[in-house]
Chains A and B, each alone.
Chain A
Amino acid sequence: MFRPVTDLTDIQGDFNLKTAAVTFKKEDIEFIIGNKWEQVYARMIDNEYYPLPAKWLITTQKWVPYKADNWRETPLSTNCNGCHTTGFNPDTYEFSEYGIGCEACHGPAGKHVIQQRQIQPGSVCRVCHTGKEASADKEIIVSVNNSVCGQCHSRGQQSNKSEHMQTSFNFPVKYKPGNSLPTDYLMSSKQNDHKGKNWWAVGLSKNRHQEFADFSVSTHSKSLKHLKEKYTEIRGELTDQCLECHSSDYKFSKDDAKLTLATAKYGISCVVCHEPHGLRRQFNSQNIDAEHCGLCHVDSFSNKAAETGKAHYPCPPSAASCADCHMPYIIKSGGAYPIRSHAFKIVPPIASETFKMPNSCQNGGCHADKSLDWAKEAFAKHYPEYSGNE
Protein backbone atom coordinates (compact mmCIF):
# COMPACT_ATOMS: atom_id res chain seq x y z
CA MET A 1 0.00 0.00 0.00
CA PHE A 2 0.96 3.63 -0.55
CA ARG A 3 1.15 5.80 2.52
CA PRO A 4 2.98 8.76 4.00
CA VAL A 5 5.75 7.94 6.44
CA THR A 6 4.41 8.45 9.93
CA ASP A 7 6.74 6.04 11.66
CA LEU A 8 10.29 5.33 10.51
CA THR A 9 9.92 1.69 11.57
CA ASP A 10 7.57 1.24 8.58
CA ILE A 11 10.65 1.55 6.39
CA GLN A 12 12.00 -1.97 5.99
CA GLY A 13 15.07 -1.09 3.91
CA ASP A 14 18.35 -1.72 5.72
CA PHE A 15 20.31 1.52 5.72
CA ASN A 16 23.26 -0.17 7.41
CA LEU A 17 23.75 -2.16 4.24
CA LYS A 18 26.10 0.04 2.23
CA THR A 19 25.44 0.08 -1.49
CA ALA A 20 26.01 2.61 -4.25
CA ALA A 21 22.34 2.52 -5.26
CA VAL A 22 21.21 4.15 -2.01
CA THR A 23 22.00 7.83 -2.45
CA PHE A 24 19.43 9.05 0.08
CA LYS A 25 18.93 8.93 3.81
CA LYS A 26 16.10 7.25 5.67
CA GLU A 27 14.86 10.67 6.74
CA ASP A 28 14.50 11.72 3.07
CA ILE A 29 11.69 9.21 2.57
CA GLU A 30 8.27 10.84 2.62
CA PHE A 31 6.12 8.03 1.22
CA ILE A 32 6.27 4.22 1.07
CA ILE A 33 4.72 1.88 -1.48
CA GLY A 34 4.55 -1.82 -0.65
CA ASN A 35 5.30 -3.93 2.39
CA LYS A 36 5.20 -7.55 1.29
CA TRP A 37 7.42 -8.15 -1.71
CA GLU A 38 9.34 -4.92 -2.02
CA GLN A 39 9.28 -1.31 -0.86
CA VAL A 40 9.51 1.65 -3.19
CA TYR A 41 10.26 4.96 -1.52
CA ALA A 42 9.05 8.35 -2.73
CA ARG A 43 9.18 12.07 -2.10
CA MET A 44 7.07 14.98 -3.22
CA ILE A 45 8.45 17.67 -5.51
CA ASP A 46 6.25 20.46 -6.92
CA ASN A 47 3.06 18.65 -5.89
CA GLU A 48 4.06 15.42 -7.63
CA TYR A 49 5.24 12.15 -6.14
CA TYR A 50 8.60 10.83 -7.45
CA PRO A 51 10.40 7.59 -6.61
CA LEU A 52 13.74 7.63 -4.81
CA PRO A 53 16.51 5.91 -6.81
CA ALA A 54 16.68 2.58 -4.94
CA LYS A 55 14.08 0.11 -3.76
CA TRP A 56 14.30 -2.58 -1.08
CA LEU A 57 13.62 -6.17 -2.07
CA ILE A 58 12.00 -7.70 0.98
CA THR A 59 12.19 -11.32 -0.12
CA THR A 60 15.92 -11.21 -0.84
CA GLN A 61 16.78 -8.45 1.67
CA LYS A 62 18.77 -6.30 -0.71
CA TRP A 63 18.75 -2.91 -2.41
CA VAL A 64 18.50 -2.49 -6.18
CA PRO A 65 18.52 0.71 -8.26
CA TYR A 66 15.05 1.98 -9.14
CA LYS A 67 14.42 4.54 -11.88
CA ALA A 68 17.79 6.01 -10.94
CA ASP A 69 18.36 7.72 -14.29
CA ASN A 70 14.77 8.58 -15.19
CA TRP A 71 12.97 9.26 -11.93
CA ARG A 72 11.79 12.63 -13.26
CA GLU A 73 10.03 10.81 -16.10
CA THR A 74 8.37 8.42 -13.65
CA PRO A 75 5.89 10.46 -11.64
CA LEU A 76 3.75 8.21 -9.51
CA SER A 77 0.54 9.95 -10.62
CA THR A 78 0.71 8.49 -14.11
CA ASN A 79 2.54 5.28 -13.23
CA CYS A 80 1.27 4.05 -9.88
CA ASN A 81 -1.42 6.07 -8.17
CA GLY A 82 -4.38 4.64 -10.06
CA CYS A 83 -3.87 1.39 -8.18
CA HIS A 84 -2.12 2.50 -5.02
CA THR A 85 -4.70 5.13 -4.08
CA THR A 86 -8.49 5.23 -4.07
CA GLY A 87 -10.62 7.59 -6.11
CA PHE A 88 -7.79 8.71 -8.38
CA ASN A 89 -8.87 11.45 -10.78
CA PRO A 90 -6.86 11.32 -14.03
CA ASP A 91 -7.77 14.93 -14.83
CA THR A 92 -6.55 16.50 -11.61
CA TYR A 93 -4.28 13.71 -10.25
CA GLU A 94 -6.06 14.09 -6.91
CA PHE A 95 -7.30 11.07 -4.95
CA SER A 96 -9.54 10.54 -1.96
CA GLU A 97 -7.27 8.35 0.16
CA TYR A 98 -3.95 6.53 0.18
CA GLY A 99 -4.07 2.78 -0.33
CA ILE A 100 -6.83 0.57 -1.67
CA GLY A 101 -9.90 1.63 0.22
CA CYS A 102 -13.41 0.20 0.17
CA GLU A 103 -14.43 2.37 -2.77
CA ALA A 104 -11.71 1.01 -5.06
CA CYS A 105 -13.88 -2.10 -5.44
CA HIS A 106 -17.32 -0.84 -4.37
CA GLY A 107 -17.35 2.46 -6.25
CA PRO A 108 -17.76 5.98 -4.85
CA ALA A 109 -19.88 5.90 -1.71
CA GLY A 110 -20.68 9.58 -1.19
CA LYS A 111 -24.33 9.31 -2.05
CA HIS A 112 -24.69 6.10 -0.08
CA VAL A 113 -23.32 7.81 3.05
CA ILE A 114 -25.62 10.80 2.64
CA GLN A 115 -28.65 8.63 2.05
CA GLN A 116 -27.87 6.36 4.98
CA ARG A 117 -27.61 9.39 7.26
CA GLN A 118 -30.99 10.54 6.06
CA ILE A 119 -32.67 7.27 6.87
CA GLN A 120 -31.23 6.67 10.33
CA PRO A 121 -34.10 5.70 12.65
CA GLY A 122 -35.35 8.70 14.56
CA SER A 123 -33.61 11.10 12.24
CA VAL A 124 -35.56 14.26 11.57
CA CYS A 125 -34.62 13.85 7.89
CA ARG A 126 -36.58 10.62 7.80
CA VAL A 127 -39.80 12.62 7.99
CA CYS A 128 -39.36 13.48 4.30
CA HIS A 129 -36.70 11.06 3.07
CA THR A 130 -38.26 7.66 3.52
CA GLY A 131 -37.80 4.64 1.29
CA LYS A 132 -34.24 5.58 0.38
CA GLU A 133 -32.74 2.18 1.16
CA ALA A 134 -33.21 0.74 -2.29
CA SER A 135 -31.69 3.67 -4.13
CA ALA A 136 -28.79 3.84 -1.69
CA ASP A 137 -27.99 0.18 -2.22
CA LYS A 138 -27.77 0.76 -5.94
CA GLU A 139 -24.88 3.14 -5.37
CA ILE A 140 -22.73 0.48 -3.76
CA ILE A 141 -21.32 -2.02 -6.19
CA VAL A 142 -20.91 -5.62 -5.13
CA SER A 143 -19.63 -7.57 -8.08
CA VAL A 144 -17.83 -10.87 -8.58
CA ASN A 145 -16.60 -9.69 -11.98
CA ASN A 146 -12.87 -10.44 -12.30
CA SER A 147 -12.31 -7.00 -13.73
CA VAL A 148 -12.78 -5.46 -10.28
CA CYS A 149 -9.54 -7.16 -9.21
CA GLY A 150 -8.17 -6.98 -12.75
CA GLN A 151 -8.21 -3.19 -12.76
CA CYS A 152 -5.01 -3.41 -10.74
CA HIS A 153 -3.88 -7.02 -11.00
CA SER A 154 -2.92 -6.43 -14.61
CA ARG A 155 -0.39 -4.36 -16.51
CA GLY A 156 -1.37 -2.06 -19.30
CA GLN A 157 -1.80 1.46 -20.59
CA GLN A 158 -4.69 3.78 -21.23
CA SER A 159 -4.81 7.35 -22.48
CA ASN A 160 -6.90 10.02 -20.88
CA LYS A 161 -7.82 13.15 -22.77
CA SER A 162 -8.40 16.15 -20.54
CA GLU A 163 -9.01 19.79 -21.44
CA HIS A 164 -5.35 20.55 -21.99
CA MET A 165 -3.58 17.38 -22.99
CA GLN A 166 -3.64 13.66 -23.60
CA THR A 167 -1.80 11.62 -21.00
CA SER A 168 -0.90 7.95 -20.91
CA PHE A 169 -1.44 6.09 -17.64
CA ASN A 170 -0.06 2.71 -16.59
CA PHE A 171 -3.46 1.61 -15.29
CA PRO A 172 -7.11 1.79 -16.34
CA VAL A 173 -8.59 5.26 -15.84
CA LYS A 174 -12.18 6.09 -14.96
CA TYR A 175 -12.94 2.41 -14.44
CA LYS A 176 -16.29 1.75 -12.80
CA PRO A 177 -16.22 -1.38 -10.60
CA GLY A 178 -18.51 -4.10 -11.87
CA ASN A 179 -17.92 -3.23 -15.51
CA SER A 180 -15.43 -4.89 -17.81
CA LEU A 181 -12.11 -3.11 -18.18
CA PRO A 182 -12.22 -0.19 -20.65
CA THR A 183 -11.80 -1.32 -24.25
CA ASP A 184 -9.04 1.23 -24.83
CA TYR A 185 -7.01 -0.13 -21.89
CA LEU A 186 -4.21 -1.96 -23.68
CA MET A 187 -3.30 -4.85 -21.42
CA SER A 188 0.15 -6.41 -21.48
CA SER A 189 0.15 -9.76 -23.26
CA LYS A 190 2.62 -12.20 -24.71
CA GLN A 191 1.92 -10.69 -28.12
CA ASN A 192 2.81 -7.09 -27.22
CA ASP A 193 5.61 -7.90 -24.77
CA HIS A 194 8.36 -7.50 -27.35
CA LYS A 195 11.23 -7.42 -24.85
CA GLY A 196 10.05 -10.53 -23.02
CA LYS A 197 9.99 -8.64 -19.72
CA ASN A 198 6.55 -9.65 -18.52
CA TRP A 199 5.79 -12.99 -20.18
CA TRP A 200 7.50 -16.33 -20.51
CA ALA A 201 7.81 -17.70 -24.04
CA VAL A 202 5.18 -20.34 -23.21
CA GLY A 203 2.61 -17.55 -22.76
CA LEU A 204 2.50 -17.53 -18.96
CA SER A 205 3.09 -14.51 -16.76
CA LYS A 206 6.65 -13.80 -15.73
CA ASN A 207 6.12 -10.52 -13.91
CA ARG A 208 3.94 -9.76 -10.91
CA HIS A 209 0.55 -8.06 -10.74
CA GLN A 210 -0.61 -9.75 -13.92
CA GLU A 211 -2.86 -12.30 -12.25
CA PHE A 212 -5.90 -11.09 -14.16
CA ALA A 213 -4.25 -11.61 -17.55
CA ASP A 214 -2.95 -15.01 -16.49
CA PHE A 215 -6.30 -16.09 -15.10
CA SER A 216 -8.12 -14.91 -18.21
CA VAL A 217 -6.40 -17.58 -20.30
CA SER A 218 -7.22 -20.34 -17.84
CA THR A 219 -10.16 -22.68 -18.22
CA HIS A 220 -11.36 -21.54 -14.78
CA SER A 221 -12.27 -18.18 -16.31
CA LYS A 222 -14.20 -19.95 -19.06
CA SER A 223 -16.05 -22.32 -16.75
CA LEU A 224 -19.52 -20.92 -17.41
CA LYS A 225 -18.97 -20.56 -21.16
CA HIS A 226 -17.73 -24.14 -21.40
CA LEU A 227 -20.63 -25.42 -19.33
CA LYS A 228 -23.13 -23.82 -21.65
CA GLU A 229 -21.37 -24.64 -24.91
CA LYS A 230 -19.61 -27.93 -24.37
CA TYR A 231 -21.80 -29.83 -21.94
CA THR A 232 -22.68 -33.35 -22.96
CA GLU A 233 -25.37 -35.53 -21.48
CA ILE A 234 -22.87 -38.18 -20.51
CA ARG A 235 -22.68 -36.34 -17.19
CA GLY A 236 -26.43 -36.36 -16.69
CA GLU A 237 -28.93 -33.57 -16.97
CA LEU A 238 -27.67 -30.01 -17.12
CA THR A 239 -29.25 -28.20 -14.16
CA ASP A 240 -28.80 -24.99 -12.22
CA GLN A 241 -26.91 -27.01 -9.62
CA CYS A 242 -24.01 -27.34 -12.06
CA LEU A 243 -23.48 -23.63 -11.50
CA GLU A 244 -22.26 -24.28 -7.98
CA CYS A 245 -18.89 -25.09 -9.54
CA HIS A 246 -19.20 -23.21 -12.81
CA SER A 247 -20.47 -19.78 -11.82
CA SER A 248 -19.27 -17.44 -9.11
CA ASP A 249 -22.32 -15.15 -9.19
CA TYR A 250 -24.52 -18.23 -8.72
CA LYS A 251 -22.32 -19.47 -5.89
CA PHE A 252 -22.57 -16.17 -4.02
CA SER A 253 -26.18 -15.33 -4.82
CA LYS A 254 -28.57 -15.46 -1.89
CA ASP A 255 -30.71 -18.55 -1.41
CA ASP A 256 -33.92 -16.62 -1.92
CA ALA A 257 -32.63 -15.08 -5.16
CA LYS A 258 -30.60 -17.90 -6.66
CA LEU A 259 -29.47 -17.35 -10.23
CA THR A 260 -30.15 -19.83 -12.99
CA LEU A 261 -28.41 -21.12 -16.09
CA ALA A 262 -30.16 -18.33 -17.97
CA THR A 263 -29.25 -15.52 -15.58
CA ALA A 264 -25.76 -16.41 -14.28
CA LYS A 265 -23.17 -14.15 -15.90
CA TYR A 266 -19.76 -15.04 -14.56
CA GLY A 267 -17.67 -18.19 -14.44
CA ILE A 268 -15.15 -18.95 -11.70
CA SER A 269 -13.69 -15.66 -10.57
CA CYS A 270 -11.10 -14.40 -8.11
CA VAL A 271 -13.51 -14.31 -5.16
CA VAL A 272 -14.17 -18.05 -5.33
CA CYS A 273 -10.69 -18.60 -3.91
CA HIS A 274 -9.87 -15.20 -2.40
CA GLU A 275 -12.06 -13.67 0.27
CA PRO A 276 -11.58 -10.03 -0.69
CA HIS A 277 -11.90 -8.60 2.78
CA GLY A 278 -8.59 -9.81 3.96
CA LEU A 279 -7.69 -11.94 6.91
CA ARG A 280 -10.09 -14.80 6.41
CA ARG A 281 -9.70 -16.10 2.89
CA GLN A 282 -11.96 -18.66 1.31
CA PHE A 283 -9.09 -20.89 2.26
CA ASN A 284 -5.58 -20.30 3.45
CA SER A 285 -3.52 -19.68 0.34
CA GLN A 286 -0.50 -21.28 1.98
CA ASN A 287 -2.37 -24.54 2.34
CA ILE A 288 -4.31 -25.15 -0.84
CA ASP A 289 -5.16 -28.80 -0.77
CA ALA A 290 -7.36 -31.32 -2.47
CA GLU A 291 -10.22 -30.68 -0.07
CA HIS A 292 -10.78 -27.28 -1.63
CA CYS A 293 -10.06 -27.94 -5.28
CA GLY A 294 -11.58 -31.41 -4.96
CA LEU A 295 -14.98 -29.97 -4.13
CA CYS A 296 -15.36 -29.27 -7.85
CA HIS A 297 -12.62 -31.37 -9.42
CA VAL A 298 -14.24 -34.62 -8.43
CA ASP A 299 -13.02 -36.33 -11.58
CA SER A 300 -9.38 -35.81 -10.77
CA PHE A 301 -9.65 -37.20 -7.30
CA SER A 302 -12.10 -40.03 -7.52
CA ASN A 303 -13.85 -40.82 -10.78
CA LYS A 304 -10.88 -40.87 -13.11
CA ALA A 305 -8.66 -42.59 -10.57
CA ALA A 306 -11.30 -45.28 -10.06
CA GLU A 307 -11.58 -45.81 -13.82
CA THR A 308 -7.88 -46.00 -14.57
CA GLY A 309 -6.61 -47.40 -11.28
CA LYS A 310 -3.97 -44.67 -11.25
CA ALA A 311 -3.63 -41.92 -8.69
CA HIS A 312 -3.93 -38.39 -10.04
CA TYR A 313 -0.30 -37.72 -9.16
CA PRO A 314 2.56 -39.71 -7.68
CA CYS A 315 3.66 -37.22 -5.05
CA PRO A 316 2.33 -37.78 -1.50
CA PRO A 317 -0.74 -35.58 -0.85
CA SER A 318 0.70 -34.68 2.53
CA ALA A 319 3.68 -33.06 0.81
CA ALA A 320 2.27 -31.65 -2.43
CA SER A 321 -0.86 -29.60 -2.97
CA CYS A 322 -2.82 -29.07 -6.19
CA ALA A 323 -1.30 -25.60 -6.43
CA ASP A 324 2.26 -26.90 -6.20
CA CYS A 325 1.92 -28.45 -9.67
CA HIS A 326 -0.88 -26.39 -11.24
CA MET A 327 0.07 -22.97 -9.85
CA PRO A 328 3.86 -23.10 -9.94
CA TYR A 329 6.07 -20.40 -8.51
CA ILE A 330 7.16 -18.78 -11.77
CA ILE A 331 6.30 -15.11 -11.15
CA LYS A 332 9.18 -12.74 -10.55
CA SER A 333 9.14 -10.33 -7.65
CA GLY A 334 11.83 -8.89 -5.46
CA GLY A 335 14.58 -10.67 -7.36
CA ALA A 336 13.13 -14.17 -6.92
CA TYR A 337 10.11 -16.22 -8.05
CA PRO A 338 7.92 -16.22 -4.95
CA ILE A 339 4.48 -15.82 -6.59
CA ARG A 340 2.28 -18.53 -8.00
CA SER A 341 1.04 -18.51 -11.60
CA HIS A 342 -2.72 -17.98 -11.96
CA ALA A 343 -3.01 -19.63 -15.37
CA PHE A 344 -3.39 -23.09 -13.80
CA LYS A 345 -0.94 -24.73 -16.17
CA ILE A 346 1.65 -27.30 -15.17
CA VAL A 347 5.14 -26.26 -16.23
CA PRO A 348 7.08 -29.46 -16.90
CA PRO A 349 10.84 -29.65 -16.23
CA ILE A 350 11.58 -29.71 -19.97
CA ALA A 351 10.35 -26.08 -20.11
CA SER A 352 13.27 -25.04 -17.92
CA GLU A 353 15.64 -26.41 -20.53
CA THR A 354 13.79 -25.04 -23.55
CA PHE A 355 12.61 -21.66 -22.25
CA LYS A 356 14.98 -21.04 -19.33
CA MET A 357 12.11 -20.71 -16.87
CA PRO A 358 11.22 -22.23 -13.48
CA ASN A 359 9.15 -25.45 -13.48
CA SER A 360 6.43 -26.99 -11.34
CA CYS A 361 8.53 -29.78 -9.85
CA GLN A 362 11.63 -27.95 -8.71
CA ASN A 363 10.85 -24.32 -8.03
CA GLY A 364 8.22 -24.74 -5.35
CA GLY A 365 10.89 -26.25 -3.16
CA CYS A 366 9.78 -29.89 -3.55
CA HIS A 367 12.61 -31.17 -5.74
CA ALA A 368 14.93 -28.19 -5.69
CA ASP A 369 17.74 -30.46 -4.51
CA LYS A 370 17.54 -32.67 -7.62
CA SER A 371 19.07 -32.01 -11.04
CA LEU A 372 17.03 -30.90 -14.02
CA ASP A 373 17.82 -34.20 -15.76
CA TRP A 374 16.41 -36.10 -12.79
CA ALA A 375 13.24 -33.99 -12.87
CA LYS A 376 12.79 -34.48 -16.63
CA GLU A 377 13.18 -38.23 -16.31
CA ALA A 378 10.85 -38.50 -13.30
CA PHE A 379 8.19 -36.38 -14.99
CA ALA A 380 8.33 -38.45 -18.18
CA LYS A 381 8.06 -41.64 -16.15
CA HIS A 382 5.09 -40.52 -14.07
CA TYR A 383 3.23 -38.64 -16.79
CA PRO A 384 3.80 -40.51 -20.07
CA GLU A 385 0.47 -39.18 -21.35
CA TYR A 386 1.24 -35.52 -20.58
CA SER A 387 -0.06 -33.45 -23.49
CA GLY A 388 0.85 -29.92 -22.47
CA ASN A 389 -2.74 -28.89 -21.82
CA GLU A 390 -2.83 -29.82 -18.15
Chain B
Amino acid sequence: MHITLYVLLAVFACISGVLAFFHYDISEQAHYVTSEQCEQCHRTRYTSYSAPRHVPPGN
Protein backbone atom coordinates (compact mmCIF):
# COMPACT_ATOMS: atom_id res chain seq x y z
CA MET B 1 0.00 0.00 0.00
CA HIS B 2 2.69 2.46 1.07
CA ILE B 3 4.95 1.41 -1.75
CA THR B 4 2.18 2.08 -4.29
CA LEU B 5 1.68 5.54 -2.82
CA TYR B 6 5.38 6.31 -3.04
CA VAL B 7 5.50 5.11 -6.63
CA LEU B 8 2.54 7.32 -7.53
CA LEU B 9 4.14 10.31 -5.83
CA ALA B 10 7.39 9.66 -7.66
CA VAL B 11 5.59 9.44 -11.01
CA PHE B 12 3.74 12.68 -10.29
CA ALA B 13 6.99 14.44 -9.34
CA CYS B 14 8.63 13.25 -12.56
CA ILE B 15 5.76 14.50 -14.71
CA SER B 16 5.76 17.86 -12.93
CA GLY B 17 9.51 18.13 -13.40
CA VAL B 18 9.30 17.41 -17.12
CA LEU B 19 6.47 19.92 -17.57
CA ALA B 20 8.37 22.56 -15.63
CA PHE B 21 11.50 21.89 -17.68
CA PHE B 22 9.60 22.61 -20.88
CA HIS B 23 7.85 25.65 -19.30
CA TYR B 24 4.50 23.99 -19.83
CA ASP B 25 1.85 25.99 -18.03
CA ILE B 26 -0.61 23.60 -16.44
CA SER B 27 -2.38 26.35 -14.51
CA GLU B 28 -5.64 27.83 -15.71
CA GLN B 29 -4.24 31.34 -15.63
CA ALA B 30 -3.91 32.89 -19.06
CA HIS B 31 -0.47 34.15 -19.96
CA TYR B 32 0.98 36.30 -22.69
CA VAL B 33 3.28 35.24 -25.45
CA THR B 34 4.43 37.82 -28.04
CA SER B 35 3.34 38.99 -31.47
CA GLU B 36 6.19 36.99 -32.96
CA GLN B 37 4.53 33.83 -31.72
CA CYS B 38 1.28 34.90 -33.36
CA GLU B 39 3.12 35.69 -36.56
CA GLN B 40 4.19 32.08 -36.96
CA CYS B 41 0.64 31.17 -37.96
CA HIS B 42 -0.95 34.55 -38.75
CA ARG B 43 1.78 36.03 -40.92
CA THR B 44 -0.32 37.99 -43.39
CA ARG B 45 -2.37 39.67 -40.72
CA TYR B 46 0.67 40.36 -38.57
CA THR B 47 2.61 41.89 -41.43
CA SER B 48 -0.30 44.13 -42.33
CA TYR B 49 -0.76 45.13 -38.71
CA SER B 50 2.82 45.70 -37.70
CA ALA B 51 3.80 47.70 -40.74
CA PRO B 52 2.15 51.03 -39.93
CA ARG B 53 3.27 51.74 -36.40
CA HIS B 54 1.78 49.70 -33.61
CA VAL B 55 4.44 47.02 -33.27
CA PRO B 56 8.18 47.54 -33.65
CA PRO B 57 9.57 45.32 -36.41
CA GLY B 58 11.26 42.24 -35.05
CA ASN B 59 9.93 42.84 -31.57
Per-position binary interface string of chain B over residues 39-59, scored 1 when its CB falls under 8 Å from any chain A CB and 0 otherwise: 001100110111111111001
Residues in chain A near residue B6, CB distance under 8 A: none
* Cross-chain contact B32 with A278 (CB below 8 angstroms): no
Pick the residue among A3, A36, A102, A113 that contacts B56 (CB under 8 A).
A3
Question: In whole angstroms, how far apart are the Cα atoms of A38 and B25 in the complex?
Answer: 40
* Cross-chain contact B59 with A109 (CB below 8 angstroms): no
Interface residue SS majority, chain B: loop
Give the A interface residue count (CB, 8 A): 28
Give the B interface residue count (CB, 8 A): 24
Q: Known contacts A109-B37, A114-B25; is A99 also within 8 Å of B56 by CB?
A: yes
In the complex, A101 has a CB within 8 A of chain B: yes
CB < 8 Å A-B pair total: 81
Interface centre among A87, A97, A108, A276 (most CB of B within 10 A): A97
* Cross-chain contact A102 with B38 (CB below 8 angstroms): yes
Q: Known contacts A102-B46, A102-B49, A111-B25; is A1 also within 8 Å of B37 by CB?
A: no
Chain B nearest CB from A142 CB (Å) reads 12
* Cross-chain contact B30 with A139 (CB below 8 angstroms): yes
Chain B nearest CB from A123 CB (Å) reads 14
* Cross-chain contact A99 with B54 (CB below 8 angstroms): yes
In the complex, A279 has a CB within 8 A of chain B: yes
* Cross-chain contact A278 with B51 (CB below 8 angstroms): yes
* Cross-chain contact A107 with B33 (CB below 8 angstroms): no
Pick the residue among A1, A87, A114, A116 that contacts B32 (CB under 8 A).
A87
* Cross-chain contact B32 with A108 (CB below 8 angstroms): yes
In the complex, B2 has a CB within 8 A of chain A: no
Pick the residue among B34, B42, B48, B54 that contacts A96 (CB under 8 A).
B34
Query: Which residues of A does B touch, CB under 8 Å?
Result: 1, 3, 35-36, 86-87, 96-103, 107-111, 113-114, 116, 139, 276-280
Q: What would be 27 A-B contacts, judged by CB atoms less than 8 Å apart? A: A1-B53, A1-B56, A3-B59, A36-B53, A96-B32, A99-B59, A100-B54, A100-B55, A101-B34, A102-B35, A102-B38, A103-B32, A103-B33, A107-B30, A108-B32, A109-B32, A109-B33, A110-B31, A110-B32, A111-B31, A114-B24, A276-B49, A277-B45, A277-B49, A278-B48, A278-B52, A279-B48
